Amino acid sequence: MFRGDNQVVAIQTERLIIRDNIKKDLNDLYELTSDPVAMRFMKSTKIESMCEAKENLKQSINESKKMNREKYYFAMVNKNSDEYIGAIGYTVEAVYPQGKLVELGYFIKQKYWRMGYTTEAGSAVIKYAFEKDNVIKVIAACLKENSASENTMIKLGLQKEGELVNHQFHENIWKTRVFYGLLKEDFLAGQGAI
């Protein structure tokens, strides 16, 4: 759904509200993005201070007000309890006459791991991207050893497009990165894998 001229996003699923970030998300965002375990595979997103969390939240809120957004950063919130579960969204990588190419990303608090929240939210965000935001392809990638993230991509219906061996320097060694993608036409043909 949209509210006002700024196209603020709020998507509902069975258990979640996936919405643009708001000021009250600050403490939860800090807790999540400063957690070394939850952010192990996302070192570039991990933060060290509340000041960094404030700046990231400010940028996310400002981005949500733009008419031609490039970053769609959403909070995953429990529909019944209003608890902040994690973050999900996509970044516009390129815009073509046919539509947008976007990269999906997600991370959640440890206590919500293995409960299906990321898959539930990811399915809704992909549907929104294809049906409401003129996206023609969703891509995602992770280190091969991050099997939980790779399994989420598979559950979301993304297809493996390749892997780059010893592509990313992580934890003082070179590691293999896997790449997945989903075309709008394939999504519409099957209405997703879930």
29-62 tens-digit pLDDT: 999 999 988 888 887 889 889 999 999 999 999 9
Mean pLDDT (whole number) for 77-94: 96
What are 129-180's pLDDT values in tens digits?
Answer: 999 999 999 999 999 999 999 999 999 999 999 999 999 998 889 999 999 9
Q: Which two tokens stand for residue 189?
A: 């043909």
Sorted by where each begins, the domain ranges of the chain are 10-190
Band the pLDDT of 193: cuts 50, 70, 90: very low
H-helix segments, 10-168: 26-33, 50-64, 117-132, 147-155
Q: Which two tokens stand for residue 4?
A: 């006002």
Q: Tokens 């996509």 appear where?
A: 90
Band the pLDDT of 183: cuts 50, 70, 90: very high
Listed in sequence order, the residues at least 6 apart from 103 whose beta carbon sits closer than 8 Å to its beta carbon are 90, 91, 93, 138, 139, 140, 141
For residues 139 and 104, is the Cβ–Cβ distance under 8 A? yes
Per-residue model confidence (pLDDT) at position 5: 37
Please provide the average confidence, as pLDDT, over all residues in the chain: 91
Among candidate residues 131, 141, 115, 145, the one with its CA nearest the CA of residue 187: 131
What is the three-class DSSP state of 83? coil
Mean pLDDT (whole number) for 87-109: 97
What is the three-class DSSP state of 44? coil
Per-residue model confidence (pLDDT) at position 194: 46
Listed in sequence order, the residues at least 6 apart from 131 whose beta carbon sits closer than 8 Å to its beta carbon are none
For residues 63 and 86, is the Cβ–Cβ distance under 8 A? no
Per-residue model confidence (pLDDT) at position 1: 41
Domain 10-190 indexed as CATH 3.40.50.300: no
- CB environment 157-175: b (16+ within 10 A), e (fewer): bbeeeeeeeebbeeeeeeb
Amino acid at 40: R
Question: Residue 160: how many CA atoms within 13 Å on its side-chain side?
Answer: 13
Mean pLDDT (whole number) for 8-33: 93
Among candidate residues 121, 111, 51, 50, the one with its CA nearest the CA of residue 79: 121
Among candidate residues 73, 18, 46, 37, the one with its CA nearest the CA of residue 146: 37
